[in-house]
Structure 1
Amino acid sequence: MEDGTLDPHPDPMPGEVVRKDAFVKTWLPRITALKQSLSDLLDGRVRARDDYGLEYDGDLDFGVIRRKAAEVAGFPMPYIYQCGRAATRRSKRSATPAGVGIETVDARGRKVVPLWTVEGGNIPLTDLRLLAWTFDQYSRQVGTGRRDALCGPVIATAAAAEAIRTAYKGPCLRTMLSDDGTKDANKVEIRPLASMRVYGHLVRSCNLIDLRFSTWEEDMVFSGTTLTLSGGRKHQPEAAIQASIGRRIGEVIGSSLLEDDTRTITSVRRKPNGVIEFGVSQPREGIVLDI
């Protein structure tokens, strides 16, 4: 809404396929309000150091910034961080002015999206889908950790949903994937059918469950962000390997777990030992679980 209130957005039903883009309409007003609030709080009161750090006027500090962000967002915002970095030798476009950003929920490492910088102006929302998904996920947490209790709908990638359907026979999955105080609280081992010839585990990041697995012969390893082929699988023509870029992983690799997964191959390289390593795109949609 124009006044910053949330659009009504009922939780998706079990079995529904949900795209991360679906959260943009709901959270855009809140994201916009947070950006404006940070601008009102920080403009003229924060300066950048040569090392891309920040200097504050008066009693302003990061504790004040995080409290203000939580007030506007309507839920705890522990993942508000300082951001900014110089351009790299390979790309000047990687430069980011010193500022304040939010750590997004993304399987591929730590990605902080700027919400305010010392250079001012209208900071473009370069990945609005990711920001909206992040806000929705953080709003459902109990506490401030990514492994805390699961609240609201739990969404699984197509690969994870298929593994749960065919292989998971344990206790309540929602309970198993909630925080129990151990470092592996967000990980559950699975034992697929022998005919599938794989072993692996389910991994949770906030409310999204994904699958990691290896074949028994260990000639294929899927980590969610990479797909590695070794052994007999690596003996493929280079032209066929390069032609995999842009295709769905289920079209490239014959596995029932990946048949319906919409992620695509984004890059490919052959290591000196002949092993093939595919880069895999982030999941853009998931299936709501009945747990």
Structure 2
Amino acid sequence: MNLGSLIVIINISWYLANKLREKSQLEYISPKNRAVLVTGCDSGFGHHVCYQLDSYGFYVFAGVLDTNSESAEKLRNKCSNRLRVIKLDVTQVEDIKSVVKEIEASGVELWAVLNNAGIAQYSLVEMGHEIDVFEKIFAVNVFGLVRVTKYCLPLLRKSGGRVVNMSSVAGRFTFWGITAYCMSKYAVRAFSDGLRKEIQSFGVKVVTIEPNMYRTEITNIDILTKSIDHIWQTTDPQICQDYGGQGFYEKIKNRLKYNVMISRPQIHEVIDTQTKAITVCEPNLYYQCAAITEKPCLWFLGLLPESVQDLLLTGKMWKFALDFYKCKQ
């Protein structure tokens, strides 16, 4: 067989496989007597996806930091009695063990774990005290996600269910000022890929979702500004001065405002993808959530050499974007 024939066969096989996958993605699993554990339901994607999963008929275990909060009360009031609001701090192993016991005692099978809990921090590597920012972000975004998954895997292996992990476009490209966050999302991707290979014999699927920037509490400008204020105040004064002092600090805040400004308000795109990952019979390994116009740009960016990516994601291109933003004020 010559090379040309082999390429034709590969292309035809790939086409047929995609057609079969498209057909299978029109088939959905039954939610009857099936539970979904969602972490990080205090706000954002995690909070809103609970309404959708509940409306589909799933038993939803909604993990929140404070069961007496306003958001927790909203979930109780707006959802059916199948939804249970539970205390779940993913950094606390006792919380996770308690949740797993409650799911086991419920009498329904655990079909899916949606690892949605996550935090972000705008901070340069040299800013802040020691490596506090890195430790805080990894505690939730990486170790918390791994911990929840590990304790739930025995139940998922029994049900042949799935793990849905929230990564980010920032797990593909490292952006200026959020190195720790990007590192954590790269780690989530690596974890998903490794776990998928380890548990595929049990029929458990692992799905990774990669949203671009969306307007949730993680991009709340007031919260982010207070956070960057604290980071700046805890940074060695000499380091602050080396980077440019107050002028550099204002530059950071301007970038922060720009990032929030361009974030998409259409969070339903991510929520619908989370639901799809949980409900279709044959989900994709990865889903990317972004505007139609953004997706080809992200694809093209991934093809470029890293030196060119650096130019586009920092430096003159950022300055142009910020200057343009200022002109619009």
**Shorter chain as normaliser: what TM range?**
under 0.3
Q: What TM-score comes out, normalization by structure 2 length?
A: 0.21
Q: What TM-score comes out, normalization by structure 1 length?
A: 0.23
Q: Higher strand share goes to which structure?
A: 1
